[in-house]
């Protein structure tokens, strides 16, 4: 649509207001051609194809539509008449193809698929930039899109690297100095929101004009414009490099018209009323219609209209002026449009009234997918050639209106999609505002933690692998978290604001649900404490920061159910993420809190460190999905033996997450009871909602087999992991062994009480192999 309303092709542009044959009329020929539109269409497609192919050497390579502007003086010399010239231009302007030689290939391909096929963002950008580059006769182009970072900072992310167009070789065409210049220009365009047109880069102090590529490529001229959405926000920047010369040795520069054309390509129209008005204004001069009205049906009822877009055409000699009139629906006769709305067919009629003819065409606008009528286009009162009377619309006019209806339908569907997106965006912003308010700690809480004297790590016992938060007052749990960050020197090294750290810790605590038995704030603190006790000097400072943040946030807003339950119950989380739904949700909520005003503890990091930390946090949190861990365990174990660093972070996250199995026996029994309570509650839901038998660990009927299931859990998951990480966390391995013995003893007692011979054989096997790990995968 940006191309459709480019200034080059405006119905009122100077080039198109010129008509060959002014003062020479061929009414009979024109009338015959209008009445035989099929022949006329085919004939002038052939004639225009001849004109383009024979006159092409007169201009540089460009878009198939570019010759309309460049060749117009030559085309005017062809033996034709005013209406035929209009038809020639219109046939080239229209996007819907009849054969391969008509229309812009990129736009035709894009619109042929309609809204059902738009490709990826990158593919769409590549097509648009290539098309615009050819239209402007540029030698190269590039495009970057805006990315919002932490704290709302906007940065440019390269989508299309500086790439040659047309006659130049494909691929990257820029040296490092070239790239610095282009980045500087795009940064200025992003900051100002205004285009930048450099007609001679050698005069720009940011660029060393003597440094060329090995191929001799040199940036001479640059045109850069912002890409804006309908709210006027800059969402990207596009750059055109070097206007092609015409072969006479002179250096061509990008003109103000190039700037307008490129901006028109990149801007999004602010309202669909404006879009439809421009589309209607394009067709009116060619049909000689006095009025064009677009009726929008009411959403409440299908037999009335809620809005109208009404345009009037005033003839001014050989040109015309289009006015958009604000009209009340009651002022316009909707009867013919209603008939079209009901019949869903084009209506073409004329009637005589007191010696004059009233002519009218109504055409339905359909939804591309549902085929429902979503609007009605109406042309009224076709002016005759002597301008003193009206005449009937012919089949050529009818076809033009039907073509207009296709694009009106696309515009309306686009407008509806934008409206839905805007409503959802607004809803999300409101939700985030409410969430931020309720999840953020009260100012009194923040001040109390900020002013509190934080106990030492020794007095809090957070250096001990046997640390237990059971019975620890709530205020001490947050102070213990602060102590870990202080003792790891993270506050000082990463320039954290102490009040922000306090607010962040309290907000993270509020992010956990109190009604979840196990996956709550206490579990988060325990996981973080295990990581704190394990961290060694082999980790970089950024890794330590990322791992501590990840452990505290790794189960944020846990619902007390597993990923499989969320997927089976088709909850929104499953629809949003598809896999590792809970872990992705934990990470995104972690990001939300890190970006929340007053909790931005990473604001002191440079851009690169910030990106690195977030990437490590995400990988660490996603690593706590046990399904993913089991799938990749053999790979982790193999890499651990080679002391490759990256997998250690994921394995330590899992080791910390499972560390409850290593706690002193009374604590381990208490935690196991909480886990069983959570698992059995999910099993009860599965029985009730899905009418299925839950897996053993979630089946309440197996509650008496809890000791045996704990032994199985240790042997299959925990013991192999802690054995591989023995050098890092030997106390956890020893604690795991002791608890295995305790659970095995309880299981044996249960076997003796219930005389379950089959189970006793299995338990004996476990007992004999208690010092062995599972076979390595």
User: Could you report the per-residue pLDDT of 721-743, keeping only the tens digit for each?
Assistant: 999 887 777 899 999 999 999 99
* 8 A C-beta contact, residue 312 and residue 340: no
Q: At what angle do helices 645-657 and 626-641 cross, to 10 degrees?
A: 130
Mean pLDDT across 279-289: 82
pLDDT of 169 higher than 50: no
> Is 555 annotated for ligand binding?
yes
Residue 95 maps to a domain: no
pTM listed for this prediction: 0.61
Residue 627 maps to a domain: yes
Same domain membership, residue 481 and residue 456 = yes
pLDDT of 763 higher than 60: no
Mean pLDDT across 35-46: 55
For residue 267, give the 3-state DSSP assignment.
coil
Span 343-400, pLDDT tens digits: 999 999 987 665 555 899 999 998 877 778 889 999 999 987 665 678 889 888 888 8
Which of 8-22, 82-96, 167-181, 596-610 holds the top average pLDDT? 596-610
For residue 315, give the 3-state DSSP assignment.
strand
HEC assignment per residue over 418-472: HHHHHHHHHHHHHHHHHHHHHHCCCHHHHHHHHHCCCCCHHHHCCCCCCCCCCCC
Which residues is 359 bridged to in the sheet?
A: 350
- Nearest CA to 590 out of 561, 648, 559, 548 is that of 548
Can you tell me the distance from the alpha carbon of 635 to that of 639, in angstroms, rounded to the nearest whole number?
6
Same domain membership, residue 371 and residue 250 = no
Same domain membership, residue 297 and residue 241 = no
What phi, psi does 386 have (nearest 5°)? -90, 5
Longest dimension (CA), the chain: 114
Residue 112 maps to a domain: no
Question: Half-sphere exposure of 687 toward its Cβ, with a 13 Å CA cutoff?
Answer: 14
Span 455-493, pLDDT tens digits: 999 999 999 999 998 889 999 999 999 999 999 999 999
Q: 7-16, 32-41, 200-209: which range is least confident on average?
A: 7-16
- Annotated catalytic residue 310: no
Residue 18 maps to a domain: no
Of the residues 265, 310, 519, 585, which is catalytic? 519
Q: What is the number of other CB atoms lying within 10 angstroms of the CB of residue 110?
A: 19
Angle at 503 between CA 500 and CA 505, to 5 degrees: 110
> Is 519 annotated for ligand binding?
yes
> Is 710 annotated for ligand binding?
yes
- pLDDT at res. 764: 46
Same domain membership, residue 239 and residue 371 = no
Confidence tier at 692 by pLDDT (50, 70, 90): very high
Same domain membership, residue 616 and residue 704 = yes
Residue 88 maps to a domain: no
Number of structural domains (the chain) is 3
HEC assignment per residue over 110-157: HHHHHHHCCCCHHHHHHHHHHHHHHHCCEEEEEEEEEEECHHHCEEEE
Indicate which CATH number applies to the domain containing 518: 1.10.1300.10
> Is 523 annotated for ligand binding?
yes
pLDDT of 97 higher than 50: no
- pLDDT at res. 152: 65
- pLDDT at res. 252: 87
Can you tell me the distance from the alpha carbon of 681 to that of 673, in angstroms, rounded to the nearest whole number?
12
**Percent of the chain whose predicted confidence (pLDDT) is above 90:** 41
- Hey, CA dihedral for 47, 50, 56, 61, is it positive or negative? positive
Can you tell me the distance from the alpha carbon of 91 to that of 104, in angstroms, rounded to the nearest whole number?
11
* 8 A C-beta contact, residue 283 and residue 404: yes
Of 693 and 248, more confident: 693
* 8 A C-beta contact, residue 361 and residue 393: yes
Same domain membership, residue 497 and residue 447 = yes
* 8 A C-beta contact, residue 370 and residue 412: no
Torsion of the alpha carbons at 432, 438, 440 and 446, rounded to the nearest 10: 160
Task: Label residue 631 exposed, middle or buried (CB < 10 Å: 0-12, 13-18, 19+).
Answer: exposed
Domain around 339: 272-419
Mean pLDDT across 634-662: 82
pLDDT of 696 higher than 50: yes
Can you tell me the distance from the alpha carbon of 150 to that of 605, in angstroms, rounded to the nearest whole number?
11
Q: 104-118, 214-228, 468-482, 574-588: which range is least confident on average?
A: 104-118
- pLDDT at res. 326: 55
Residue 164 maps to a domain: yes
pLDDT of 453 higher than 70: yes
Same domain membership, residue 476 and residue 336 = no
Same domain membership, residue 589 and residue 558 = yes
Same domain membership, residue 381 and residue 306 = yes
Residue 469 maps to a domain: yes
Same domain membership, residue 372 and residue 485 = no
Question: Half-sphere exposure of 273 toward its Cβ, with a 13 Å CA cutoff?
Answer: 9
Same domain membership, residue 358 and residue 470 = no
Residue 74 maps to a domain: no
> Is 521 annotated for ligand binding?
yes
Q: Which of 364, 386, 419 is the last residue of a domain?
A: 419
- pLDDT at res. 216: 60
Indicate which CATH number applies to the domain containing 307: 3.30.450.40
pLDDT of 580 higher than 80: yes
pLDDT of 79 higher than 70: no
Same domain membership, residue 377 and residue 239 = no
> Is 553 annotated for ligand binding?
no
Span 296-339, pLDDT tens digits: 888 766 678 888 888 888 765 545 565 555 556 677 888 999 99
- Nearest CA to 496 out of 481, 485, 487, 507 is that of 485
> Is 288 annotated for ligand binding?
no
Contacts of 48 (CB under 8 A, 6+ apart): 88, 91, 92
């Amino acid at each position: 649509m940006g191309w459709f309303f480019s200034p080059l092709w405006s119905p009122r542009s100077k080039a198109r207001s010129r008509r060959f044959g002014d003062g020479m009329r061929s009414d009979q020929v024109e009338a015959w051609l209008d009445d035989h539109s099929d022949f006329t269409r085919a004939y002038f497609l052939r004639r225009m194809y001849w004109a383009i192919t024979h006159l092409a050497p007169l201009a540089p390579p460009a878009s198939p539509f570019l010759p309309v502007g460049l060749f117009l003086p030559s085309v005017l010399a062809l033996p034709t008449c005013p209406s035929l010239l209009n038809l020639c231009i219109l046939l080239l302007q229209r996007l819907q193809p009849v054969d391969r030689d008509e229309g812009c290939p990129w736009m035709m391909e894009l619109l042929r698929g309609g809204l059902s096929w738009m490709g990826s963002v990158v593919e769409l950008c590549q097509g648009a930039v290539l098309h615009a580059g050819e239209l402007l006769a540029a030698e190269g182009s590039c495009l970057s899109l805006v990315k919002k970072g932490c704290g709302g900072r906007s940065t440019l992310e390269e989508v299309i690297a500086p790439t040659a167009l047309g006659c130049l070789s494909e691929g990257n065409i820029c040296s490092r100095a070239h790239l610095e210049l282009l980045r500087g220009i795009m940064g200025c365009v992003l900051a100002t929101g205004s285009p930048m047109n450099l007609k001679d880069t050698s005069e720009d102090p940011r660029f060393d004009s003597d440094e060329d590529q090995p191929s001799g490529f040199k940036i001479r001229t640059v045109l850069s414009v912002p890409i804006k959405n309908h709210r006027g926000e800059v969402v990207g920047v596009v750059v055109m490099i070097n206007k092609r010369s015409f072969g006479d040795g002179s250096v061509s520069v990008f003109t103000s018209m190039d700037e307008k054309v490129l901006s028109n390509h990149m801007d999004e129209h602010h309202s669909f009323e404006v879009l439809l008005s421009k589309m209607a204004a394009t067709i009116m001069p060619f049909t000689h219609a006095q009025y064009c009205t677009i009726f929008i049906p009411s959403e409440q009822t299908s037999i009335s209209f809620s809005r109208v877009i009404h345009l009037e055409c005033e003839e001014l000699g050989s040109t015309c002026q289009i006015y958009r009139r604000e009209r009340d629906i009651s002022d316009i006769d909707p009867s013919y449009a209603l008939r079209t709305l009901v019949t869903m067919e084009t209506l073409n009629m004329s009637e005589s009234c007191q010696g004059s003819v009233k002519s009218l065409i109504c055409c339905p606008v359909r939804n591309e997918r549902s085929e429902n009528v979503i609007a009605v286009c109406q042309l009224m009162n076709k002016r005759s050639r002597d301008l003193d009377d009206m005449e009937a619309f012919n089949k050529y006019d009818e076809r033009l209106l039907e073509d207009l209806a296709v694009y009106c339908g696309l515009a309306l569907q686009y407008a509806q999609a934008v409206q839905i997106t805007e409503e959802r965006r607004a809803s999300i912003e409101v939700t985030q505002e409410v969430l931020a308010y309720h999840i953020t700690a009260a100012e009194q809480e923040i001040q109390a933690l900020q002013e509190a004297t934080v106990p030492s790590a020794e007095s809090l016992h957070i250096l001990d692998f046997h640390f237990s938060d059971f019975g620890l007052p709530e205020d001490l749990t947050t102070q213990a978290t602060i102590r870990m960050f202080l003792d790891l020197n993270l506050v000082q090294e990463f320039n954290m604001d102490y009040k922000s750290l306090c607010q962040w810790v309290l907000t993270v605590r509020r992010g956990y649900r109190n009604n979840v038995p196990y996956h709550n704030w206490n579990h988060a603190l325990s996981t973080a404490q295990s990581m704190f006790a394990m961290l060694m000097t082999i980790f970089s400072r950024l890794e330590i920061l990322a791992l501590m943040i990840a452990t505290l946030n790794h189960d944020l807003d846990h619902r007390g159910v597993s990923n499989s339950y969320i997927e089976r119950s088709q909850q929104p989380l499953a629809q949003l993420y598809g896999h590792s739904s809970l872990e992705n949700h934990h990470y995104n909520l972690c990001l939300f809190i890190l970006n929340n005003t007053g909790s931005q503890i990473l604001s002191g990091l440079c851009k690169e460190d910030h990106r690195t930390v977030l990437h490590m946090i995400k990988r660490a949190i996603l690593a706590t999905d046990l399904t993913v861990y089991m799938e990749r365990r053999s790979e982790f174990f193999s890499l651990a033996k080679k002391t490759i660093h990256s997998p250690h972070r994921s394995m330590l996250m899992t080791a910390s997450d499972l560390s409850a199995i290593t706690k002193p026996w009374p604590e381990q029994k208490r935690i196991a009871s909480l886990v069983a309570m959570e698992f059995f509650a999910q099993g009860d839901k599965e029985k009730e909602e899905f009418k299925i038998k839950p897996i053993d660990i979630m089946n309440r009927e197996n509650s008496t087999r809890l000791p045996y299931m704990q032994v199985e859990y240790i042997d299959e998951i925990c013991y192999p992991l802690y054995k591989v990480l023995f050098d890092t966390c030997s106390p956890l391995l020893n604690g795991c062994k002791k608890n295995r013995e305790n659970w095995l003893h309880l299981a044996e007692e249960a076997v003796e009480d219930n005389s379950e011979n089959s189970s006793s054989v299995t338990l004996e096997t476990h007992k004999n192999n208690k010092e062995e790990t599972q076979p390595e995968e």
